[in-house]
Amino acid sequence: MSERVRRGRPGHDQESVLRVAIDLFNRQGYDATSMGDLARELGLTKSAIYHHVTSKEHLLELALDEALGKLTAALDTVRADPSYSPEQRLRAAVRSSVVVLTEHLPAVTLLLRVRGNTPAEQKALARRRDIDHRLAEMVREAAEAGAIRADVDPLLASRLLFGTVNSMTEWLRDDSDAEALADTVTTLAFDGLMRHG
């Protein structure tokens, strides 16, 4: 399918169909959602919806690409900054992850629920594992630089750290303040709940 947005009826384009599809997938589950459900939600006939998108799986791919693309780009930006120490790099990675999660909440929520039931989901899971490896590597580098505590396995620390970030999809709202949340999560992760000094 071409990158160009294909238009059917006035009032809908591929982008607006995608937004509604992602919300529906998150609400009732991807597997349980049919193209008929999506057409009903959009007020279109089932045949009209195919003016906008080729298949349910293509909508899933677009959604997962959005989440994975933004997360990958954020890590690329962090990694490319030569001024960061390993600790600053890890802090920036945590901050960026929270910002992407908040700003692309529906797509990231869908990504985190993917269990690998289809080839598109398996491909997304592989890309998600790659991101997890990059994050774990940043934790390991910060540990080796002596910046973070040595008494916790870096892989475990990484899982807990980004498990915290991912768990935010359970209660975040689209209108949450991404920058303020990113600061709070980074502060709690690095400095803990205890009052210091």
Query: Footprint of a copy of itself on this chain (CB under 8 A)?
Result: 29, 31-32, 142, 146-152, 156-157, 159-161, 163-164, 166-168, 170-171, 184-185, 187-196
Please identify, using beta-carbon distances, which residue of 43 and 146 lies nearer to a copy of itself: 146
Least distance between a copy of itself and beta carbon 59 (Å): 20
Query: Which tokens belong to 56?
Result: 């349910």
Question: Which residues 6+ apart lie within 8 Å of 79 measured at CB?
Answer: 89, 134
Least distance between a copy of itself and beta carbon 163 (Å): 3
Q: Which of 185, 180, 190 is nearest to 167 (CA)?
A: 185
Please, are residues 135 and 95 in contact by the beta-carbon 8 Å criterion? no
Please identify, using beta-carbon distances, which residue of 36 and 146 lies nearer to a copy of itself: 146
Q: Compute the distance between CA of residue 25 and CA of residue 138 in angstroms, rounded to an integer.
A: 32
Please identify, using beta-carbon distances, which residue of 5 and 152 lies nearer to a copy of itself: 152
**Maximum Cα interatomic distance, the chain, rounded to a whole number of Å:** 65
Least distance between a copy of itself and beta carbon 57 (Å): 17
Please identify, using beta-carbon distances, which residue of 48 and 178 lies nearer to a copy of itself: 178
